[in-house]
Structure 1
Amino acid sequence: MTKRYAMVCSSNQNRSMEAHFVLKREGFDVASYGTGAHVKLPGPSIREPNVYEFGTPYKHMFDELRRKDPELYKRNGILPMLKRNLGVKTAPQRWQDNAADGVFDVVITFEEKVFDMVMEDLNSRDHILMKPVLVINLEVKDNHEEAATGGRLTLVLCQELEATENWVDKIDEIIFNFERQHRRKLVYSISFY
């Protein structure tokens, strides 16, 4: 694989981590991030989320929630999600705090407000390298079933990009074909490093 990919969602580590898991399994050079102030996982009620700092190990979250209420967190899919995340990386990372992780060729977001945040962040940086970065939003609802579908669709999209030597010349065609085939509207833009 020649391109470097970043998966970015808001704060609960489901959609970006599912895509990260799928791409990593297929040999892609991929990283994942959240953009929220904290990692928020569903709790016993909508008013009682489980809130963690970025950088808190997934193992810690898994063990804590398993101690609190194993049946609830198994039933709502949080324990299986955290177990998957454990196999991908140690802890969640925040996009805004990890700019030094390197340069990506493609950044994929899973909700439009995150796409806007990533674009704003990239456009506010000094563009020293003048290396293009493609930012694509693939809207994915925040539930386990949609995250799995989003992960598979992200793989298809990344395989298309990987098969293209110069995505800058072919991006309109790739996006058009993807939208037609999968009936999913993509928003995309280009920024620079």
Structure 2
Amino acid sequence: MTDTPDSPYTPEDVVRQDGVGVPDPFMRLWTPHRMAYIEGENKPTSDEAGAGCPFCRLPGLTDVDALIVHRGAAAYAVLNLYPYNPGHLMVVPYRHVADYTELTEAEVADVSTLTRQAMQAIRTVSGAHGFNIGMNQGEIAGAGIAAHLHQHVVPRWAGDTNFMPAIAHTKVLPQLLPDTRALLAKSWP
């Protein structure tokens, strides 16, 4: 562990910090980048479509800048900025719509097709053993951005819930998001 450019503290300072508990042999793993998500950075302040909605804004960027893996006719596949596992992506309709029942038949078909293709690409790149696929409908159901529907495709492997999340409440992602995007885009069926 090293100190971050924005932090004047070293790992040794953190271990000695008052209030962190009784000194022990464990080195703490800190994930300060998660604060952006926790504090709602880039979260829309309204339910309106447009530049305030990241899912509306992303298609206007380059695929590399937006982390878009593939663009379909009615939806696109994009890496999650706050992934649960390596390769976690979302399938998002271009149209700003909140509820699955509001999708057109063409949008439903494209979301379905892109989800299947995402699974194929992820299996090709990383040999995923399984997937969690789903969408949280409404803020009460856990949707971080409830106003713009998005379906999660989370790859899973035997043993992927190891001691890190169980003991340290930390997820280890071994690859930078732009590198993951490039691999998946190259392997998209």
* Pairwise same-fold verdict (TM > 0.5): no
Task: Write 1 or 2 for the structure with the bigger share of strand.
Answer: 1
TM-score computed with the length of structure 1 as normaliser: 0.29
Larger RCO: 1 or 2 (CA < 8 Å, sep 6+): 1
Question: Which entry has the higher C-alpha Rg, 1 or 2?
Answer: 2
